[in-house]
Chain A
Amino acid sequence: MTQLALVIDLNVCVGCQACVTSCKEWNTSGEAGPLVDMNPYGADPTGTFFNRVQTFEVGEFPNTETVHFPKSCLHCEEPPCVPVCPTGASYKRKEDGIVLVDYDKCIGCKYCSWACPYGVREVDAQRRVMTKCTLCVDRIYDQDLPEWDRKPACVRACPTNARLYGDIHDPNSVVSQAIRENGGYQLMPEWGTKPANHYLPRRKTRITVREDELERADNPLKIDSQLPKPGRDEPSLDDVTSW
């Protein structure tokens, strides 16, 4: 079985919003669009987006860290949003695990959005149906695109390569390796929704140096340093001993 998903690396995301605009652009001009923007220049603008990048501050000043956090539908392996749908408009595809909404069947009752703990489903105010991330299902299988371009629009847009895409059920895929080797985790695991999308944590490269590694352990009285430095012409210890 295949489960396509994104892996988002919080260690490299810089919060530039490129994935947000790229997602909006692709999906609003796609066959399922448009995604409405209401009052874009007015007092109270609002619009539909499949992907949002949020920013969190972790810690207290001065020990703070800024975490940019992109969020879209996680294509859960146990999607609680699907069984509640009264029309069958929300469904999970068997072949690749993508969770989709059939815009022609949806009645806009919003029940599925109540049943998603992640707040990623948005009713389009103009089309009056539920919309959400499609994992660019209209891109990733498009035979007219060159092979390297058959990826979600957000993945293609990310300048820091913070968004990886692939099959998390294939242990050799780039996403599975990233999850395995870099501590990939799921959001709100307490609900048992088994999100397919994973996040890679912030990582710091540190070397652990023990005290005795800074000082020679076999020279506790620092006798070495008391000896006069041998002159440049004189034989060093290495020259006179042979062990």
Chain B
Amino acid sequence: MSALRISGGRVHDPANDVDGELHDVCIDGGKVVAEVGPDARRIDARGMVVMPGGVDIHAHIAGPKVNAARRLSFELRRDDVEACAGALRSGTGGLVPSTFATGYRYSLLGYTTVVEAAAPPLAARHVLSELRDTPMIDKAFLVLMGNNQVLFELIRESRGAVSPALRDAVAWWLEATGGYGVKLVNPGGVELWKQNNGYVDSLDDQVAGFAVTPRQVLEAIGGAVDELGLPHPVHVHANNLGVAGNADTTLETMRTLSGRRAHFAHLQFHCYGGKPGGRLRSRAPELLDYLGGHPELTADVGQVMFGEAMTTTADAHVSAVLRDLSGGKWINHDTEVETGCGIVPYSYRARNYVHALQWGIGLELFLLGRDPWQVMLSTDHPNGGSFLAYPKLIRLLMDRGFREEQISRANQRAIRETALLDGLDREYTLNEVAIVTRAAPARRLGLRDKGHLGIGADADVTIYHDRADREEMFATPRYVIKGGELAVEEGELRRADDGLLLSSRAAFDPEVSRVLEPLFGERYTVAFAHYPVRDPALREPARIVEAGS
């Protein structure tokens, strides 16, 4: 890896309190360094904006669910192809691009790290194989644990407390799969869906057959993740996604986890007032208030963008509701012991009350929040829209005129339910954009070498033309540097890079196998001995982030 000097650019590195200062960024050996010699290659970044590479804390890019969504969206990829050229592989795009295209397109957008936010542990080998075929970016995945019958048994035994066995089991599962963090999706509710198309009404509902409640699952697994000191806190997709009045559930979930670190996924889908079955309202301000008083909690927005989307979720009950709304394609897949899966293509329309309200609530979360470190950018790709819509979303945040014009096209009855017409003139600064798209996600993921440009950081750098049209600016970086090497130049990929798998590891008592094995034997149809992924071809090269480090 050769030395490189990025000179004369305006640097936005909020993690190091650098806000648009002119200074050089020096790179050697794949890392940011203090100085490089006079022979170092030079990138002239005068007049340009320099940021750390983008970090996506929540997207769906790999695994059986994503692959099923690819199948379901074959029409959308016919006219959106990547050609095989040199070392680059061919592929197709659409809302759920093929693996190579996913890596290329994230890289072309200036993103260098992406988290797959919901992997069934039973499918770890599949997820890892796909991630191996997703080039250019470093990637991690979160392991679904919120509806795991084996963990339910341990939680029942401990009556909802964090027991040593539970803590060990959580660490065992990460080690068995190569996962990075722990995801809870509709805790308890997916098991109820698989039992009898059921759902959770309150956090204190019993999950039939297990005598555990969603609240106990949150407390026990959230607590275990916290006690293990995993780099990323428990990542929660709360119960009752999309349902009118679900803000009560979300607040209750936040209260349950408060005092422990936790990240709330796609908060926009969990911010609704109104009565179940009735008209949706916004309760975003209330949730933001609560977050404001609880710095240990963070969220990503899950902004919906008008246009086509592909809803893909472990929360299969939601998919059945969308199936009945849309009448269109629908996939349901039940995974034994662990989770469910639902997929429905969906279209968000500006004139539709609910869709416009969802869009408006997302913007409220961005614009009314006081601390951008707490509320990060996501579209829950491809659920609220493709990651390719990020530049447009950034323009909505940075450009008030553009935003108002877009607001005027949306359903006005919905917009009046939000704060968007109350003279909301906030415009994100470049530093705030750098916070919500790289600095905050990296910090929240516990990736100390990412999301900033301090000495010792990974040399993942994105350099933009400073254009007035922020959408254009963020859609086509001038340069993207990944691991110290030039990856993208003016919308063209310059090299093929495999990227790293990011895994985390926490110590556990290996004797936990004795507890798990009998519980496995009577539930799974795969052998306990064969469950953990050992094949180095799937697990390496990886960077392991140790718990508590």
* A and B interact: no
A contacts, CB < 8 Å to B: none
- Could you tell me which B residues sit within 8 Å of A by CB distance? none
